[in-house]
Amino acid sequence: MKTTKRRTSTITTYYYYYYYYYYYYYYYYYYYYYYHYHDHYFHYYYYYYYYYYYYYNYYYYYCHYHYNYYHYYYYYYYNNNNYYYYYF
């Protein structure tokens, strides 16, 4: 598993990218995460639910998360190292 985390700005959100490699033709995963962040000026509460499934060499990811009472949606899929990202 490879996890990448980057902070985009002081007030905006974090992005979490998860890469899993399985030998199953179909796999479904559901994940709930609660994150608390504190720095010098801001006190953030961040959580999201996240799932993905794998089917015919495609990995589909969907993420819906809440950050300081704002809602964000994130979705992407990839195949053969080609990544397709959708934000909504």
Q: What is the pLDDT of residue 67?
A: 43
**Beta strand 70-79 with 43-55: parallel, antiparallel or unpaired?**
unpaired
pTM summary value: 0.22
Q: What is the pLDDT of residue 57?
A: 47
Most confident of 24-33, 44-53, 54-63: 54-63
Model pLDDT for residues 53-73, shown as the tens digit of each residue: 444 444 444 444 444 444 444
